[in-house]
Structure 1
Amino acid sequence: MALIGRLFVILFGFLAACLVAGIIVVGTVLFPEFSDFAGGVIDPDAINIVLGFGFIFLSGFALLPATIVVLITEAFYIRSVLAYAIGGGIVGLACYLGLIPFDPDTLRFDGIVRRHLEIMTGAGIVAGLVYWLIAGRNAGAWREPRRPLRPPPPLPSHSPVPPHTPSSS
């Protein structure tokens, strides 16, 4: 039963991390355009649509690498915030490099834009931190046995003894 609850926590943490990463990616990619509006009105519906697509896009690309990081951290009880930040950075890097064409003849990625690489890696780091806040702090806790309930403390010696009631037959 604890495993089922843990899966829901992991799923919620993953979705929250993808939402934060999507907001970061969309905000930083669109930042140069925001500064060129010269005080013009920004349509909030368009921003909501762009954020929604960013969330869907990142959650689809990040699912497999993030699942690998989650499985490793759950299996080895890794609860360090640094491990999740590094894992998130690696997931962000993997998502970006998954979009760039790879030339197998030269063993190089063609067309890497350094700014975009930094944005995706930074968004992955922040997403890893958000995931740690929600689910990573208790990684592997579902496998630990429950602590037994402590018995109530003994009554003080000068307290009255509760009356004994005979059982009715």
Structure 2
Amino acid sequence: MSLIGRLFVILFGFLAACLVAGIIVVGAVLFPEFSDFADSQIDPSALNVILGFGFIFLSGFALLPATIVVLITEAFYIRSVLAYALGGGIVGLACYLGLIPFDPDTLRFDGIVRRHLEIMTGAGIVAGLVYWMIAGRNAGAWREPRRPLTPPPPLSSHSPAPPPPPAS
């Protein structure tokens, strides 16, 4: 696989992983509203807008940490599903902690909500698995040499003999 083709596969895998993570985050955050349908119905167009913003939000925040994970796995030919799940969890954690204010005096994050941390980490793990299914299984494939073409099978002994060369 050429490097250019591999970059397209990586980009497609990243976008699909962000879409799945956005759906998970929006679904988990809106779960209390989903569980109470007695009051009113949820507008499908509003849900589509929320999912779109969730996708854009996650893809923007996850780009740098996910790029680091992709570079490491491509450089070292890491193709393990566990590595991508762990990397996705770390990316989700980094995305969440990037939004929380950090107090340098006490070296602590102020205002961590445990449920939101769990949602982002879980969404990152699922996104890592989706990325592995699309692009991670073949990490580093662009550096492998192409297989040589197999030679044609030998002629059988029952095949007709080639014609004699012309006499001069």
Which TM-score bucket, shorter chain as reference? over 0.9
Q: How does 1:4-153 map to 2 (within 5 A)?
A: 4-38=4-38, 40-153=40-153
Structure 2 residues not aligned, in runs of 5+: none
Q: Distance in 1 between matches of 2:167 and 2:81?
A: 61
Cα displacement (A) at 1:35 = 1.1
Cα displacement (A) at 1:23 = 0.3
Q: Distance in 2 between matches of 1:107 and 1:153?
A: 70
Normalised by the size of structure 2, how large is the TM-score? 0.94
Q: 1:155 to 1:119 in 2, by over 3 A?
A: same
Normalised by the size of structure 1, how large is the TM-score? 0.93
Q: Distance in 2 between matches of 1:99 and 1:85?
A: 22
Structure 1 residues not aligned, in runs of 5+: none
Q: 1:168 to 1:125 in 2, by over 3 A?
A: farther
Q: Distance in 2 between matches of 1:103 and 1:20?
A: 32
Q: 1:167 to 1:43 in 2, by over 3 A?
A: farther
- More deviation in 37-46 or 62-71? 37-46
Q: 1:151 to 1:37 in 2, by over 3 A?
A: same
Cα displacement (A) at 1:161 = 4.1
Q: Deviations over 1:31-61 (max 9, x none)?
A: 1111123163221100000000000000000
**Cα RMSD for the two superposed structures:** 2.0
Q: Distance in 1 between matches of 2:166 and 2:56?
A: 66
Q: How many residues are paired up?
A: 167
Identity %: 90
Q: Deviations over 1:122-165 (max 9, x none)?
A: 000000000001100110010111111010111222233465xx
Q: Distance in 2 between matches of 1:26 and 1:138?
A: 30
Q: Distance in 1 between matches of 2:162 and 2:13?
A: 50
